[in-house]
Amino acid sequence: MQYRTFGTLDWKTSALGFGAMRLPTLNDDPKQIDEPVATEMIRHAIDQGVNYVDTAWPYHGGASEPFVGRVLQDGYRERVKLATKMPVWLVESAADFDKYLDQQLERLQTDHIDFYLLHALHQNVWEKIHALDVLPWAEKAIASGRIGHLGFSFHDQYEVFERIVDAYDNWTFCQIQYNFMDIDYQAGLRGLRYAADKGLAVIIMEPLRGGRLAKNPPPPQVARLWATAATQRTPADWALQWLWHQLEVALLLSGMSEMQHVTENVASAARSGIGTLTEAELALIEDVRAAYETMSPIPCTQCRYCLPCPNGVNIPRVFEIYNEAIMYQDVAGARTSYQWLKEEARADRCVACLQCEEQCPQHIEIVTWLKTARELLDPPDAAA
Ligand SMILES: NC(=O)c1ccc[n+]([C@@H]2O[C@H](COP(=O)([O-])OP(=O)(O)OC[C@H]3O[C@@H](n4cnc5c(N)ncnc54)[C@H](OP(=O)(O)O)[C@@H]3O)[C@@H](O)[C@H]2O)c1
Ligand code: SF4
Ligand code: SF4
């Protein structure tokens, strides 16, 4: 295992962390973790030098935290830093901060959380918990030893990220979605550098874009490019090494769902290091990014000029989900993302008023594409 600097802390993190969000399950039920297999996977990773385990209140329908608590028995708790997250969207009053943390300590069978995150911050939820004095509350929890360090995970536009980083001088770390396709998405490369410059340890989530970049074989256009490399790697290894190459990355979390992922990613981490990829390899990864982008059928740049739609349709998000379904050949994953959209934001709310098309600088036939997207993402037989 390789170990890396973690912000300004006098502690080294393993390059690879274990994300307990995509554990193997039984009966197609996310709440039924296949405990014997998942236990073997996490303990094997720790035995191989992984020293960071990440979970959260909602993972596996609430089953992840109690499971991680059980896995870390028999001496494993002392060998790792444990991270979990405040479910900020459930918080209604300041008293809820203690309520959730107390339950999490109990679920995880521990008296302290080493790295505690405010989970999935976006503008509105950040404003809500900030007004409820989450920061003074967290400082008290740190002083009492129940929390080691405070950080946040993030899902919003870059500008919001910068605002949250700047709102507090004592963040130890943050967690962002980042991979070689997401350099301009959410916090992105700018956010990585901004936070690292301010001394925060930056943890990467979705390094394989939830598995989409790890498909083997990848789409033929991408496979042809990978085949030209002087050193052959799996698609997963390319994506992970690209992250570890970067100085500003503290560690990356992988949501490994089978033992083979653990053994492969542990082996990748052992070969990793800052600045290990060659110029030619970095150029090849850029070519792969461009190849994926050309597979994106709707030329939407996410500029949002088409918003607000008077009927509430979230046009850029629908197009993003549709493009991902085609680019990564992952219709099932895209349908799940589409179901997460509020009903009023979905494509079927479009009444073809054409107001949006007048605003679109890319001259996209929005109404036609919304119909196409709906047919793929929400077919009538899927609802039956
Ligand atoms: N705080 C937040 O808001 C937030 C949000 C997202 C994630 N997270 C955390 O970050 C962690 C990492 O995110 P993620 O789970 O999305 O990571 P990821 O690495 O992008 O995706 C994990 C998926 O990649 C595939 N995979 C992993 N290793 C592979 C390998 N060697 N070969 C082939 N496929 C491989 C598996 O897909 P298949 O199962 O399809 O094979 C696995 O389920 C999560 O587990 C969670 O702890 C936090
Ligand atoms: S055409 Fe459809 S999506 Fe566009 S503004 Fe009108 S209702 Fe909204
Ligand atoms: S205006 Fe056009 S390019 Fe911009 S987000 Fe809307 S659909 Fe996409």
- Is pLDDT above 50 for 73? yes
Residue 337 located in a structural domain: yes
Q: Give yes or no: residues 47 and 187 share one domain.
A: yes
Q: Is residue 225 part of a domain?
A: yes
Band (pLDDT 50/70/90 cuts) for residue 299 is confident
If you average pLDDT over residues 348-377, what whole number do you get? 94
Q: Does 22 map to a domain? A: yes
Structural domain contains residue 256 = yes
Instruction: Find the domain containing 260 and state its range.
Output: 3-286
What's the whole-model pTM score? 0.90
Of 307, 314, 315, 318, best ligand 2 pocket probe by most atoms within 8 Å of the beta carbon = 315
pLDDT in tens, 210-260: 888 998 899 999 999 999 999 999 999 999 999 999 999 999 999 999 999
**Would the CB of 211 count as within 6 Å of ligand 1?**
yes
Considering the chain, what percentage of its residues have pLDDT values greater than 70? 99
Q: Kindly state whether residue 338 falls inside one of the protein's structural domains.
A: yes
Q: How many domains does the chain have?
A: 2
Residue 300 pLDDT: 85
Ligand 1: which of 41, 80, 116, 208 to mutate, most ligand atoms within 8 Å of CB?
208
Q: What percent of the chain has pLDDT over 90?
A: 91
Angle formed at CA 172 by CA 166 and CA 178, multiple of 5 degrees: 80
Question: Does the residue 307 lie in any domain?
Answer: no
Q: Residue 97 pairs with which residues in a beta bridge? A: none
Taking residues 27-32, report their average pLDDT: 91
Regarding whether 188 and 333 lie in a shared domain, the answer is: no
Q: Note whether residue 88 is domain-resident.
A: yes
pLDDT tens sequence across 144-169? 999 999 999 999 899 999 999 999 99
**126 and 251 belong to one structural domain:** yes
Top-confidence residue, 217 or 301: 217
Residues 115-131: what's their mean pLDDT? 96
> Is residue 41 domain-shared with residue 78, that is, in the same domain?
yes
Confidence of residue 384 (pLDDT cuts 50, 70, 90): very low
Token pair 């008023």: residue: 353
pLDDT in tens, 264-281: 999 999 999 999 999 999
On whether residue 120 sits in a domain, the answer given is yes
Q: Give the mean model confidence (pLDDT) for residues 195-199.
A: 98
Pocket of ligand 3 (CB under 6 A): 300-306, 315-316, 319, 359-360, 362, 364, 366
pLDDT of residue 301: 81
Q: Tell me, what's the pLDDT at 382? A: 58
Considering only CA atoms, which of 200, 250, 199, 239 is closest in space to residue 216? 239
